[in-house]
Structure 1
Amino acid sequence: MSGWSFTGSHSEELQAVFLEALEFCDAEREQFLLHRCQKSPELLQQVRELLSAGDRPSILDQQLPEAVLAQSLLAGGMAQARFGHWQVRRLLGHGGMGSVYLAEQEQPVQRLAALKLIQLGQESDESLWRFQQEQQVLARLSHPHIAGLIDAAVQPSGVSWLAMEYVDGRQLTDWCRARGCDLRERLRLFLQCCEAVRHAHQNAIIHRDLKPSNILVADTREGPMVKVIDFGIARILDESQDSQRTPSRRTRAGFLPGTPQYMSPEQLCGEIPVDIRTDVYSLGVVLYVLLTGSEPHISENRGSSLSRMSLLQAVLDQDPALPSQRVLQQSSAGGADDTARLLARRLRGDLDAIVLKAMARERDRRYQSVAELMSDLQCHLSDQPILARPDSWWYRLRRRILRNRGLVSALAAVFLALSIGILLADRQRQRAVDSEMRLKLRNYCADLLLASLALDDGDTANAVAALDRQRETSDARELDSLEFRLLSYLSAARVNQLAAERQALYYCCLISGGRWLATCGQGGELLVLDTASGKLLHRIPSGQGELNGLSVSPDGQRLAVFGDDGTVSIRDARSLTELHRFKAHGAQVWQGAWSPDGSMLATCGNEKGVRLWETATFKAAGSIDSSVDLECLTASTSGRLAIGGERSTLLLAGFPGSSAADNERQEVQSGTAWLGRYFNLGTVSFSPDGQLLAAGEQGAGLRLLRLDATEGAVVSRQFPDTVTAVAYAPDGRTLAVGLADGTLGTISTEAVHNPGLQLQLTAILNGESFPS
């Protein structure tokens, strides 16, 4: 151009307006100039003259002979042009700063490269700086998805060139369109592009010109391979290195590098320094185009591109249509088809949110790195929740269902089959229910009749068994009927249960002031329970075989345990640790009792007679003879001994030195008015005042005897099983009862003072149990 230079008072503004005007087509340029120069007619005239002069040849258009030769080689004699080891084969394309050619190297290895040259006649400081900048950027990068630098040099003629990896492929959008790629395939290719950009960011490089034409896809043996190219306007974030090569702002004033349709708002404004989020925005636009086939901001004239001014206004002020909406808008022009509706459904939700978050106008609302964008895309592909969408429970449930489609489908099929089966079986179920109800009613009536007849015959065990069967099978309404409650009362079938052991319990006694209940039996273990809660506190193996009896010393400090091996174990009544063990009988030791002062211990075993032991040394101190084998014994607070044996024999005697010892020894034989039946006595216990004696029989009977009476038992009671253990509470008003079936319970003894009353059951502890 002749006669013009950018000097004078308005040179910077003139240069800026002139360079901006060059970006517009002829149809839009005049509208831009009128708007831009409306306050300065002189500036408008100067810019018009510059534009007009640019169309005429001038002295500056005449090139030096060396440059003319190089240009002719490139334009017409490509087969003969060489740059270093590279021989040019053909032109690949033109760019803003130069041209790109396919070149081949034959030595030292044969390979192809993309050779980039600065356009002849445009070797300005700006273009040279950008050319060198691209060389430095590519030297920093080494990634499989980036077309890397191979070689670079400056010809003697002054032509600068770069040899880069040649990518024999098509741009991303064209490749996907030609191959008919589905949504998931497109996203996987886009993720390869993101990996390349992330690598650049990790090396402090911003691409600033990401668009489909700079993202190529080549076919390789491993499959489609994405390559990012053209780092011509890339920026190095390390200012300490960048500033050494950057030309002055005056030289670059008015220049706006990049492709406007893919530029972020901060790039278009040119006021805010760009950062990695600028590339995130461009990637969002590329993804928008890849998914919809359309740019985000288009004119209303059937999807054509906007002018630069309109584009700038749209990017800064308007949100683009959702990708799912854009697909439907494009298809509605020619009639919406099923393919477009299906694609819109797949875009709706996650992908809409991901694209709009990447393209947010405010940088702080975008993904803060390419890694975040990649993470959301990978989460979408694996049906995981994404960052861009609200974290609601319904959204998470939907993603979980999508991740487990097979399992959910199987469960749905199973549920459907079950539903059909339930509906088909409803009639049969109702018939079965009716039949079961009739059967339950017949069984209920039969068991109540059996319980009534058993009570008439005095057979309490069978009555209890019949009523227990109904407790397990009948509902609350039947159990609350008058007849059932009456029979339950008459049978007194429910002693208040403390424990349920899977072994026969032979003996029990209260220790620790009545707070604990100690018991033993067939299992050979000493069991200690809390009487208030029924909780098992201790389970102590004895090593004595079966345990037949227990006895607490008068001071409550020691507990004697009698075993099947003929030994007696003396234990601390609080800690339950063993203090002493001695051999008392040749075979089993059934039971024993302490003297009132605790100085002697009486024991009986599977033989005739009772043995006495000094408790200081546990040496023999005497014996009491009997005519029958003995089963049990107990002592009153006055020193009186009651010893039970075979054939309902009861032997009364006393410890040596006690007041009871002066009384005549008594032995009541079977067949007397007291007992009247021929069962062995298995357990006996004095009341605290010594006036009453509880005697348990192997025939499931319990007798309460007044010792000064002459007409037999005060009261008798039948239980479901053999009474194997009895013990009075310290106040004498409660009696603990152990049965051979493992049941422990308590009953009130107030009725014994009124011979006309039947013995009543009182609810003290109810339903507590411990494991066996």
Structure 2
Amino acid sequence: MDPEPPSPGSAKDADLAGWLRVGLSDWDSEESADETVPDASLPDDLLDLRRYRFHEKIGEGGFGEVWAAEQIDPVRREVALKILKPGMDTRQVIRRFNQERQTLAIMDHPGIAAIYDGGSTSAGRPYFVMERVDGLPLSTFCDEHSLSIRARLELFLRICQTVHYAHQKGVLHRDLKPSNILVSEVDGHPVAKVIDFGIAKIIGGDLDATADPFMRTREGWILGTPAYICPEQVMLGCIDLDTRADIYSLGVMLYELLTGRTPLFEAGTTSMPMDEWAHRIRNVEAKCPSALAAVASPEIVTARNAANASSLARQIRGDLDWITLKALEKDREKRYDSAAALAEDLRRHLADEPVSAARPSTLQVAWKFAKRRRALVGATAASLLILIAAAIFSTAAFLRESRMRTLAEAARQEAQRHEQEVARQRDLAMTSANEARVQEQRATKTLEYLDTLLARAASFAARGANAEALRLALDDVTLTIPHFTEDPMLRETILGRTAVIYRSIGHEESAIPLVKAQLEIAQAKYG
């Protein structure tokens, strides 16, 4: 017996945190019933639907059940009739059931089961009649028919195109999984049909998360099948979902077609606590499909018509890795923006053309690793911060010491320059003193010469020589000029002065030798 969901605001809500609503069905949403149900065991209100002859119950979920039947009026054909279970006719459930009926009514596509009829039974249970799809779930069909990777991709590409059609009609499926895609063989070719729009959402429609309690995520209440729902469906529930939620589910199915398992769960999640699988969906990154294919079991390899695991991995490695992982991005902004874009990349791969999906950058890989290993990265980051702090402290100490050494060297060089300047000034002072002594000696000798000259002139004048006496004195004193050879400048000066005196008394002939001697000294000095 299926569990009933808690009514909103009931007193039992606190005790039902672990109760999980998975779409309109349980983990296995459709359980095949092999027994043919006789008319006697049919509910009375189904017997009242005399246009249909019921064969057997072929599926059952949390709120509804599906019967295989034959329509006998006005046309004869095999159909599937979906009807609400007895006792489940609450206002919210009926509203949801009617939306599924309306969702199918607005779509007309060969890849979606068509709706033929609808109404309510005499007991007031709503139902609708749709095309009966006698097929196998997607993954089962592919494995049983040993479809190669290429054949699987060609089939899956058409499924993506069907989902894109639904999106264009404003329909978000929200429960895409292999059991909701039935595949049959028609004229030797696999044909897929998307079924079960029981929790679909008409984008922009009246029925949304704010209006319908069954579309809200409460504690322990999530719509969808855990292995195939996207991270935002876990975090946001049914609020703010868009077509990229279905892209993620398509990515999970593609991963399963390639590797034989879903990216995050090897088996079902029935026995796994809700918080554990929810954490895994939000935070655990999928491995590259080719990495799993490389260690695939012989059964998985054979089902994909490959020679061995290495051959299977080679067929997947590269483009199919990046296409699948792009569809499975945790951040929906990084996924394909439409099912058509995913289909186009698959077409390009099959045609050996470049695909838009690319190998993740080193930065993206590092970021994803950090998100997966937060504790390890946190500890590593703390260690790095300590090392960086130590390095900064050591560097600062080194720079401070280096600066002190630089300042000390600058002070030493400044002191050396000062000492050199003092020595230079001292040398200049000594040179000046020596020069002063030389000048003093010159002046003294000049005075001695003049004193001698005047004394001789006075002596000659006393004897009545007058001007002739001065000439005679000059002739006498001139004889002492050669004694000034140790000081050429003094000798030059005395020669010049004496020549001037000779001229002043009219003895030009006596001045000429002195001027010549003066010129010789000047030429020797200045070149």
Q: Give the Å deviation of 1:223.
A: 2.4
2:82–2:127 contact (8 Å) kept in structure 1: yes
Q: Within 1, Cα distance between the matches of 2:233 and 2:104? A: 22
3-state DSSP of counterpart to 1:329: coil
AA matched with 2:13: Q
Partner of 1:370: 339
Find 2:261's aligned residue among 260, 281, 294: 294
Q: How many angstroms does 1:148 deviate by?
A: 1.4
Q: Does residue 1:149 correspond to 2:115, yes or no?
A: yes
Deviation digits for residues 426-455 of structure 1 (CA, Å, limit 9, x no counterpart): xxxxxxxxxxxxxxxxxxxxxxxxxxxxxx
Distance 2:273 2:95 in 1: 29
Written as runs of structure 1 = structure 2, the 5 A alignment for 1:192-203 is 192-203=158-169
SS at match of 1:115: strand
CA deviation vs aligned residue, 1:697-716 (integer Å, no higher than 9, x gap): xxxxxxxxxxxxxxxxxxxx
**Residue equivalent to 1:456:** none
TM-score calculated relative to the size of structure 1? 0.40
- 2:180 matches 1:214: yes
* SS of corresponding position for 2:182: strand
| Alpha-carbon contact 2:57-2:66 (below 8 Å) kept | yes
Post-superposition CA distance 1:383-434 (Å, at most 9, x none): 0000002599xxxxxxxxxxxxxxxxxxxxxxxxxxxxxxxxxxxxxxxxxx
Maintained 8 Å contact 1:79/1:87? no
Contact 1:292–1:327 (8 Å) recurs in 2: yes
1:15 Cα deviation from its structure 2 partner: 2.3
SS in 1 for 2:295: helix
- The alpha-carbon deviation at position 222 of structure 1 amounts to 6.7
Match of 1:21 in 2: 19
Q: CA RMSD, aligned part only?
A: 3.7
Write the letter of the residue equivalent to 1:310. Answer: E
Matched with 1:521 is: none
Following the alignment from structure 2 to structure 1, what is the Cα–Cα distance between the partners of residues 100 and 163?
A: 15
Whether contact under 8 Å (1:78, 1:90) holds in the other structure is no
- Specify the SS of the correspondent of 2:80: strand
Q: TM-score, normalised by structure 2?
A: 0.58
Q: Is the 8 A contact 1:376 1:386 kept in 2?
A: yes
Q: Which residue of 2 aligns with 1:275?
A: 242
Q: What is aligned with 1:103?
A: 69
Equivalences for residues 186-585 of structure 1 within 5 A: 186-221=152-187, 223-239=189-205, 241-242=206-207, 246-247=211-212, 253-254=218-219, 255-271=221-237, 272-298=239-265, 306-331=272-297, 339-389=308-358
| Offset at residue 200 of structure 1 (A) | 0.6
Task: Tell me the equivalent position of 1:620.
Answer: none
- Give the alignment partner of residue 127 of structure 1, picking from 76, 93, 96: 93
Q: For 2:122 and 2:301, how far apart are their aligned partners in 1?
A: 61
Matches of 1:170 and 1:335 in 2, distance apart? 20
User: Structure 1 pair 292/305, CA: closer, same or farther in 2 (3 Å)?
Assistant: farther
1:372 positional shift: 0.8
Q: Give the deviation of 1:315 after TM superposition.
A: 1.3
Greater helix share, 1 or 2? Answer: 2
Describe the shift of the 1:287–1:124 C-alpha distance in structure 2 as closer, same or farther (beyond 3 A): same
Per the alignment, in what secondary structure is the counterpart of residue 124 of structure 2?
coil
Report how many aligned residue pairs link the two structures: 340
* C-alpha distance in structure 1 between counterparts of 2:301 and 2:193, whole Å: 36
SS state of the match for residue 199, structure 1?
Answer: helix
1:78–1:89 CA contact under 8 A, matched in 2: no
Larger Rg: 2
How much has 1:130 moved relative to structure 2?
A: 1.2
Instruction: Identify if the C-alpha distance between structure 1 residues 14 and 74 changes in structure 2 by more than 3 Å, giving closer, same or farther.
Output: farther
Does the 8 A contact of 2:172 with 2:242 survive in 1?
Answer: yes
The answer to whether the 8 A contact 1:380-1:386 is kept is: yes
Q: Could you say what secondary structure the match of 1:371 adopts?
A: helix
Unaligned residue ranges in structure 1 (runs of 5+): 25-70, 393-772
Structure with greater strand percent: 1
Hey, what's the Cα distance between the residues in 1 that align with 2:224 and 2:110?
A: 24
RCO higher in 1 or 2 (8 Å CA, sep ≥ 6)?
2
Aligned residue type for 2:198: G
Aligned equivalents of 1:138 and 1:116: distance in 2? 12
Percent of aligned positions with the same letter in both sequences?
Answer: 36
Any conservation in 2 of the 1:87–1:105 contact (CA below 8 Å)? yes
Amino acid paired to 2:169: N
Q: What code does the residue aligned with 1:177 have?
A: D
Cα pair 2:201 2:208 within 8 Å, conserved? no
